[in-house]
């Protein structure tokens, strides 16, 4: 891949790791931000999944939840299962300011996203609320979405989606409460008009946040909206913990 912008971005984080030798975000082993052992534990979700929400299932087609209430996005796919080292890795990026992990995750996700074959014009990260952004200082989703957009040679639109209201954390909420919590939570700029947009979040559980974001993008003239997350919480995970 002859992509100068992506290579330059990637080299910056490589230099940071050389200056400040990291520990693995998955197991705390010194030497790299994400060690080979932890990378090998990633459970890529490339089997049979719901055509719309991407939930793993035994037979091809659309899952029961999407038949009852179809999400607004065209399709949602997650790269891996939200479990084990990847769960610890995401925690390090989100709460421990281990920012170089965003680039490391994007580099591993690139082949998966390319294999989806989606025709995308731009990448839009789910935005944080103002209070959460002030507290954290950065949007962990953007730290993955930017290098992913550079690697795919797509337009990156970090301000195309904004929060209309502050919402509660989705952790601890039921499926119905999650849907209500993020209903009409976003507004999109006119910059998405006529574009096929990839909306991105870090973890999907019910897909409610991404569906609400997709709704706002369509309202501002997006042609089609696809959704992507790093990880997916599966039904055996406790809904109220993710």
DSSP label of 127: P
The predicted model gives 109-137 an average pLDDT of 95
Among 63, 66, 57, 105, smallest CA distance to 201 is for: 105
The neighbour count for residue 37, using CB atoms within 10 Å, is 12
Q: What is the pLDDT of residues 137-159, one digit of tens each?
A: 999 999 999 999 999 999 999 99
pLDDT band at 47 (very low <50, low <70, confident <90, very high): very high
The predicted model gives 27-55 an average pLDDT of 93
Q: Give the CATH number of the domain where residue 209 resides.
A: 3.40.50
Q: What is the pLDDT of residues 170-202, one digit of tens each?
A: 777 777 788 777 888 899 999 999 999 999 999
* Residue 105, both tokens: 């995750």
Residues ≥6 apart with Cβ < 8 Å to 132: none
Give me the percent of the chain exceeding a pLDDT of 90.
Answer: 79
Which residues form the domain of 36? 4-241
Give the number of domains in the chain.
Answer: 1
Its pTM stands at 0.92
Q: How many whole angstroms separate alpha carbon 214 and alpha carbon 59?
A: 26
């Amino acid at each position: 891949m002859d992509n100068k912008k992506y290579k330059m971005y990637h080299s910056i984080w490589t230099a940071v790791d050389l200056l400040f030798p990291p520990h693995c975000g998955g197991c705390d082993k010194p030497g790299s931000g994400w060690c080979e052992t932890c990378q090998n534990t990633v459970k890529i979700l490339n089997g049979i999944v719901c055509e719309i929400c991407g939930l793993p299932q035994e037979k091809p087609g659309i899952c029961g939840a999407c038949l009852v209430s179809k999400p607004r996005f065209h399709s949602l796919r997650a790269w891996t299962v939200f479990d084990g080292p990847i769960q610890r890795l995401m925690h390090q990026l989100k709460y421990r300011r281990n920012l170089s992990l965003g680039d490391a995750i994007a580099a591993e996700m690139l082949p998966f996203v390319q294999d989806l074959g989606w025709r995308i014009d731009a990448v839009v990260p789910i935005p944080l609320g103002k209070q959460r952004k002030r507290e954290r200082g950065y949007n962990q989703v953007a730290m993955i979405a930017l290098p992913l957009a550079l690697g795919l040679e797509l337009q990156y639109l970090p301000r195309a989606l904004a929060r209309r209201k502050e919402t509660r954390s989705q952790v601890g909420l039921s499926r119905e409460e999650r849907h209500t919590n993020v209903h009409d939570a976003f507004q999109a700029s006119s910059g998405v008009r006529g574009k096929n947009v990839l909306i991105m979040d870090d973890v999907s559980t019910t897909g409610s946040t991404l569906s609400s974001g997709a709704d706002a993008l369509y309202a501002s003239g997006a042609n089609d909206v696809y959704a992507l997350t790093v990880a997916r919480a599966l039904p055996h995970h406790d809904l109220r913990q993710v």
